[in-house]
């Protein structure tokens, strides 16, 4: 599979060769690299003022695929709308991070009151 990606200079368009595509597929397993290259090619056609140079195209593709891989991993980790629980123990009870912050604020207020009374 070879895909043509338009660059700023028409005579030097970037061709994503099969071996480079295979390398990206090996590195970014979470991503459908072929589909993303097609999306990139269309994006470059639709945004001629934002096209990259031939030299900078590899960096552009790598950045695009990294973002897609990161998003794929984040989406697969937790269901949509789910917030990862943040629990910590003080030895006896489990409290959420929010509860811990509330307790710390309360402790700080109590400490200030004790200092004022002393």
Q: Please name the residue that has the structure tokens 């009870």.
A: 93
The dihedral through the CA atoms of 31, 37, 40, 46 has a sign that is: negative
- pLDDT score of 5: 92
Task: Report the C-alpha gap between 83 and 26 in whole angstroms.
Answer: 31
Structure confidence at residue 108 (pLDDT): 65
Contact 16, 61 (CB under 8 A): yes
| Predicted structure pTM score | 0.62
- Among residues 28, 37, 39, the alpha carbon closest in space to that of 73 is found at 28
Count Cβ atoms within 10 A of the Cβ of residue 14 and give its class: 0-12 exposed, 13-18 middle, 19 or more buried. Answer: buried
Run of H or E residues at 49: none
- The pLDDT averaged over each successive group of 10 residues in the chain (118 residues) is 87 90 91 94 94 93 92 70 51 58 64 69
Q: What is the pLDDT of residues 17-47, one digit of tens each?
A: 999 999 999 999 889 999 999 999 999 999 9
């Amino acid at each position: 599979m070879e895909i043509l990606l338009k660059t700023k200079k028409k005579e030097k368009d970037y061709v994503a060769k099969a071996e480079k595509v295979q390398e990206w597929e090996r590195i970014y397993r979470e991503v459908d690299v072929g589909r993303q290259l097609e999306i990139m090619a269309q994006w470059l056609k639709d945004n001629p003022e934002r096209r990259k140079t031939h030299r900078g195209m590899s960096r552009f593709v790598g950045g695009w695929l990294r973002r897609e891989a990161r998003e794929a991993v984040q989406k697969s980790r937790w269901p949509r709308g789910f917030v990862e629980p943040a629990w910590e123990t003080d030895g006896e009870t489990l409290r959420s991070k929010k509860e811990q912050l509330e307790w710390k604020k309360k402790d700080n207020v109590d400490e200030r009151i004790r200092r004022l009374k002393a």
